[in-house]
Chains A and B, each alone.
Chain A
Amino acid sequence: MFKRAPSPRPVVAITVDGKPVEARRGDTVASALLAAGYLSFTDTPRRVTPYCLIGNCFGCLCEIDGRRGVQACLAPVRDGMVVRTGHKEPDR
Chain B
Amino acid sequence: MTGTGCDVAIIGAGPAGLSAAATAAELGLAAVVIEEQAGPGGQVWRGFDGGPAATANPAAHAVLARARSAGAAFRFATTVVDIDRTLGVTWYDGLRLGRLQARAVIIATGTVERPLPFPGWTLPGVIGLGALQIAYKTGGVVPDADTGEVVVAGQGPLVLQCLADLAGGGARVSAVLDIGARGRMAAALASLPGALGARPGLLARGAGLLWKRRLSGVPTHRGVERFEALGTDHVEAVRFTIDGTTRTLPCRLLAVHDGVIPNTQLPRLLKLDHVWRPDTRCFTPTVDAHGRSSRDGVWIAGDGAGIGGVLDAEPGGRLAALDAARFLGRLDGDAFEQKAATDRRRRAGNRKARQFIDALDPPRDPATGLDDETIVCRCEGLTAGALRTVIRGGVDEPNRVKTATRCGMGSCQGRICGNLLTQLIARETGRPEEQIGALRIRPPLKPVPLGAFADFEDTP
Query: Which residues of A come within 8 Å of B, CB atoms?
Result: 1-7, 9, 23-24, 26-28, 30-32, 34-35, 39-40, 46-59, 61, 69, 73-74, 76, 91-92
Residue of B whose beta carbon sits closest to that of A74: B36
**Given A58-B411, A61-B411, list of 17 further CB < 8 A pairs?**
A1-B143, A1-B144, A2-B135, A23-B139, A24-B140, A39-B234, A47-B123, A48-B122, A51-B113, A53-B131, A53-B135, A54-B131, A56-B113, A56-B263, A74-B36, A74-B37, A92-B147
Return 9 A-B CB contacts under 8 Å, by A number: A3-B141, A3-B147, A26-B139, A31-B135, A46-B122, A51-B131, A54-B112, A55-B37, A91-B125
Which listed residue, B123, B141, B379, touches A35 by the CB 8 Å rule?
Answer: B141
Contact B126 A49 (CB under 8 A): yes
- Tell me the count of chain B residues lying within 8 A, CB to CB, of chain A: 50
Contact B381 A46 (CB under 8 A): yes
Contact A31 B141 (CB under 8 A): yes
A52-B142 contact in complex given A1-B252, A57-B416, A58-B412, C-beta closer than 8 Å: no
Tell me the chain B residues, 138-166 only, with Cβ under 8 Å from chain A: 138-144, 146-148, 150
B263: which A residues are within 8 A, CB to CB?
56
Which listed residue, A4, A6, A24, A39, touches B124 by the CB 8 Å rule?
Answer: A39
A39: which B residues are within 8 A, CB to CB?
124-125, 234
A49-B128 contact in complex given A4-B140, A61-B411, C-beta closer than 8 Å: no
B141: which A residues are within 8 A, CB to CB?
2-5, 27, 31, 34-35
- How long is the Cα–Cα vector from A39 to B234 in the complex, in angstroms? 8
Interface string of B98-120 (1 = CB under 8 A from A): 00000000000000110000000
Which listed residue, B138, B410, B412, B416, touches A28 by the CB 8 Å rule?
Answer: B138
Closest chain-B Cβ to A64's Cβ sits at a distance in Å of 10
- How long is the Cα–Cα vector from A53 to B22 in the complex, in angstroms? 28
Task: Determine the main DSSP class of B at the interface with A.
Answer: loop
Q: Does B447 contact A (CB under 8 A)?
A: yes
Contact B139 A32 (CB under 8 A): yes
Residue of A whose beta carbon sits closest to that of B149: A1
A54-B125 contact in complex given A2-B144, A3-B142, A7-B140, C-beta closer than 8 Å: no
Contact B412 A1 (CB under 8 A): no
For the complex of A and B, the 6 pairs showing the least CB-CB separation, nearest first, are: A31-B139, A39-B124, A58-B411, A53-B131, A3-B144, A5-B140
- How long is the Cα–Cα vector from A24 to B378 in the complex, in angstroms? 30
Residue of B whose beta carbon sits closest to that of A27: B139
Closest chain-A Cβ to B306's Cβ sits at a distance in Å of 18
Closest chain-B Cβ to A47's Cβ sits at a distance in Å of 6
- How long is the Cα–Cα vector from A54 to B126 in the complex, in angstroms? 16
Which listed residue, A26, A47, A50, touches B127 by the CB 8 Å rule?
Answer: A50
- How long is the Cα–Cα vector from A48 to B38 in the complex, in angstroms? 24
Contact B135 A54 (CB under 8 A): no
A55: which B residues are within 8 A, CB to CB?
36-37
